[in-house]
Amino acid sequence: MTHPPLALTLGDPAGIGPEISLKAWRSLRHGPVCFVAMGHARPWLETAQSLGLPCPEFVTDAQEALRVFPHALPVFDLPETSSTPANAVASVEAAVKSALKDEVSGIVTNPISKVRLYQEGFSFPGHTEFIAHLTSDIQMEGPRGPVMMLSGGGLRTALVTTHTPLKSAIKALSSGSVVQTTRVTAYALRRDFGFNAPRLALAGLNPHAGENGALGHEEIDILAPALRTLAAEGLEILGPLSPDTMFHKEARAQYDAAICLYHDQGLIPVKTLDFHGGVNITLGLPIVRTSPDHGVAFDIAGQGVARADSLIAALRLAHDIATHRRERR
């Protein structure tokens, strides 16, 4: 059976989202991945004209999007609201609603400017938490997230804490949060990535993973109890591993995903391995959600030079995850 298309959100229309959307369409239009742009249409129409690409076409349902996709970017047009941030939020809300109705097979979110959203009263740290809120009343299989995972260069890293100042992230660490993040990650590796027996690795917090308490006690007081709990549940997990030696090629061959304790611990190795093609995935939701692993790039918006590699990878991965979920039904 043919996949429903993915929904691609607008993001901040003043950023590079419209440009990379059209470049991703140009790259993917003759393959198995199909998506419909969801949001008010003007940014995509104007960008297509400036890039010399075919004019996007308005559609009203998923089947129409599948028909249109080979020759034009299908756009589900939403009314333009009073502000750019409101347009970005409305696009996400519409995409989530369509995903919950199975009208689309998943959502891929273009970058947003969090600062601009915060200025208008947006109360969530970002997409991840907002989408988790929008789906919080929906029953689902497996442990609930959200857990942020980054993927690129053959590496997957799942984060225990996300967009939190480092000092606050360390204070927030607990055995329970490590256990829950790992449970969500292991389940997603089975359901969404096809690993029957996922292998996990837990990063330490301190240099040399604490050196048996000489360089910090978090590994002993927080991580060791979490590892005992996870091992008792039958999960295969290594750790705590020294963060400076667990991401080289030979070490990465020992696990399918790394559990990282704070934002940069997980993002730096992924971006080093695949700066242009990294993908942000939200685990533990009832719907599929991925995103390019970069921001709005206001400094190059409108110049026609933005690279769509990360968005293309996010669309392909969302398609693959949706396929794994459908095959498990």
Task: Render pLDDT for 70-119 as a digit per residue (tens, 0 to 9).
Answer: 999 999 999 887 777 788 899 999 999 999 999 999 999 999 988 888 88
- Predicted local confidence at residue 83, as pLDDT: 77
Per-residue pLDDT of 49-65, as tens digits, reads 999 999 999 999 988 99
Mean pLDDT of 239-266: 97
How far CA 279 is from CA of 9, 54, 83, in Å, comes to 15, 27, 28
Q: How far apart are CA 144 and CA 132, in angstroms?
A: 9
CB 164 within 8 A of CB 172: yes
- How far is residue 150's CA from residue 279's CA, in Å, rounded to a whole number? 6
Burial class (CB in 10 A: 0-12, 13-18, 19+), 170: middle
pTM, rounded to two decimals? 0.95
- The domains of the chain are located at 1-140+287-329, 141-284
The architecture (CATH level 2) of 141-284 comes to 3-Layer(aba) Sandwich (3.40)
Beta bridge partners of 241: 203
The residue among 191, 210, 215, 190 whose CA lies nearest residue 200 is 190
CA distances from 255 to 2, 185, 191, 204 (A): 33, 13, 17, 15
Highest mean pLDDT among 1-10, 81-90, 231-240: 231-240
pLDDT tens-digit readout, 145-189: 999 999 999 999 999 999 899 999 999 999 999 999 999 999 999
> Could you tell me which residues are beta bridge partners of residue 199?
236
SS3 category, 7: strand
Structure tokens at 38: 């969801």
Fold equal for 1-140+287-329 and 141-284: yes
Give CATH for domain 1-140+287-329: 3.40.718.10
Task: For residue 229, give the H/E element and its range.
Answer: helix 224-232
Give the three-state DSSP class for 36: strand
d(CA 278, CA 241): 23
Containing H/E element for 290?
strand 289-292
User: At CA 165, angle to CA 293 and CA 178, rounded to 5?
Assistant: 75
